[in-house]
Amino acid sequence: MEIQHSQLQFCLILGFALMVSVSEGKESCVEKYISKGYFEKKSNLDDSEFDNYVKHEISSCSCQLPKDNLNYPPRLLTLHRNLMGEGSHRRLSSSIRLESEHSLQSCEGIIIEKLPSGVFADPFELQHLVHRKVFSDAAVFGDSNLELPSFRSNRSVVEIHTEISSGEDINSNQMEIKIELPLHARYPPLGEGFAKVKFGIPDIFLRCSSIQGNLDKCGYMPRKGEGPKSVDDVWEVPCGNKEHQGIVSVVTFTSAIISASLIVFTSISHSTLT
């Protein structure tokens, strides 16, 4: 599904952050995980507060970007989203194409998914993918209880760090980020038929290490996303029907009592003599 630029209510952020080598023993301008700082201050995810955090906290970073990058930041060309699979365990695929005047070979892409309350990502499953080198790194922040239904749980944020590959045309300045994020549906509130879970647009960052190894230079530049987006990311999750409450309770307890009575009767009437 194609959506217009003006329809984009979600903040799509494309930024740069120069990664400071940990081995040099200097503090990074931006933490390993961008989202971590937000959840150190807040316990629940709120979209506008998170956007403010990104806007003020991350961009207030005192380090500076190299001049070239400041003048010609990478441009977002396309964003394709697709929910793959069926049922309660699905994969949210994101394909992001970027254009840059400069090589992004020394950069990693950071995708931040602010998950709606009906779904969650299993941090241990993500770690498994990190071990298999599917992602460079991954972390989940927010509600870590994997078992609660959506009406008893809070939202969470998934942060994926991944490599950037060259576009199809090697000579062009286009780069591509592709990820498939495994997600699981929580039990939705009672309703009729299906509950709809809709995803927002992810925040996208680039974190690059300085080629010259100039470690005190780092920075961050958020800006609104541009370019065509294609999304097919509405997840329909089956939900329990409130109208079933009465009949289910009556039949459940009746069948339990009948079964128990039959067992009790058989046990008492069965002779313990041979």
Partner 1 sequence: MAVVNFCSLLLFSAVFRVLLIIYGEWQDTHMEVRYTDVDYLVFSDAASLMASGRSPYERSTYRYSPLLAFFLMPNSVIHPAWGKFLFSASDVLVGLLIHTILKLRGVPENLSTYCTMVWLFNPFTFTIGTRGNCEPIVCAIILWIIICLMNDNIFQAAFWYGLVVHLRIYPIIYALPIVLLLDPRHFESGKKPKLTAWSFRNIKSGQISSSKKFAGESHFWLTLRNIFTWRRIIFGLISAVVFFICTGISFYLYGWDFLHEALLYHLTRTDPRHNFSIYFYHIYLHYEQEFTVMEKLISFLPQILVQLVLVFRFSRDLPFCFFTQTLAFVAFNKVMTAQYFVWFFCLLPLILPWSKIKLKWQGLASTLLWIGAQTHWLMWGYLLEFKGKNVFIQLWVASIVFLAANTYILISIIQNHIYSPVYRRLDHLVSDKTAKHD
Measured distance CA(7)–CA(16) in Å, rounded: 25
Copy the structure tokens of residue 145: 């209880």
Q: Which of 124, 133, 170, 171 binds partner 1 (CB under 8 A)?
A: 124
Tell me the closest approach of the beta carbon of residue 72 to partner 1, in angstroms.
41
84 is a contact residue toward partner 1 (CB under 8 A) = no
Tell me the closest approach of the beta carbon of residue 237 to partner 1, in angstroms.
7
- Report how far apart the first and last C-alpha atoms of the chain are (Å, whole number): 75
239 is a contact residue toward partner 1 (CB under 8 A) = yes
The stretch among 4-12, 46-54, 73-81, 239-247 that binds partner 1 (CB under 8 A) is: 239-247
By beta-carbon proximity to partner 1, the closer residue of 142 and 219 is 142
Measured distance CA(129)–CA(126) in Å, rounded: 5
The stretch among 91-99, 205-213, 226-234, 260-268 that binds partner 1 (CB under 8 A) is: 260-268
Copy the structure tokens of residue 8: 């984009």
Tell me the closest approach of the beta carbon of residue 91 to partner 1, in angstroms.
11
Give the chain's count of helices (H) and strands (E): 5, 14
The stretch among 32-40, 42-50, 123-131, 174-182 that binds partner 1 (CB under 8 A) is: 123-131
Count of residues making up the chain: 274
Tell me the closest approach of the beta carbon of residue 27 to partner 1, in angstroms.
25
242 is a contact residue toward partner 1 (CB under 8 A) = yes
The stretch among 37-45, 51-59, 226-234, 243-251 that binds partner 1 (CB under 8 A) is: 243-251
Footprint of partner 1 on 164-203 (CB under 8 A): 187, 189-190, 193-194
Task: Provide the 3-class DSSP secondary structure of residue 116.
Answer: coil
256 is a contact residue toward partner 1 (CB under 8 A) = yes
Only one residue has tokens 């922040």, namely 141
Note whether 54 and 110 are within 8 A (CB).
no
Strands 2-3 and 203-209: unpaired
Tell me the closest approach of the beta carbon of residue 26 to partner 1, in angstroms.
26
Q: Which of 70, 84, 234, 263 binds partner 1 (CB under 8 A)?
A: 263
Tell me the closest approach of the beta carbon of residue 267 to partner 1, in angstroms.
5
Note whether 169 and 77 are within 8 A (CB).
no
Q: In what order do the strands lie in the sheet with 156-163?
A: 14-19, 203-209, 107-114, 156-163, 137-142
Strand-pairing partners, residue 181, are 92
Measured distance CA(207)–CA(205) in Å, rounded: 7
Measured distance CA(57)–CA(65) in Å, rounded: 16
Q: Which of 26, 36, 128, 224 binds partner 1 (CB under 8 A)?
A: 128
Chain positions contacting partner 1, by CB under 8 A: 86-89, 123-124, 128, 144-147, 149, 151-152, 187, 189-190, 193-194, 236-242, 244-245, 248-249, 251-253, 255-257, 259-260, 262-264, 266-268, 270-274
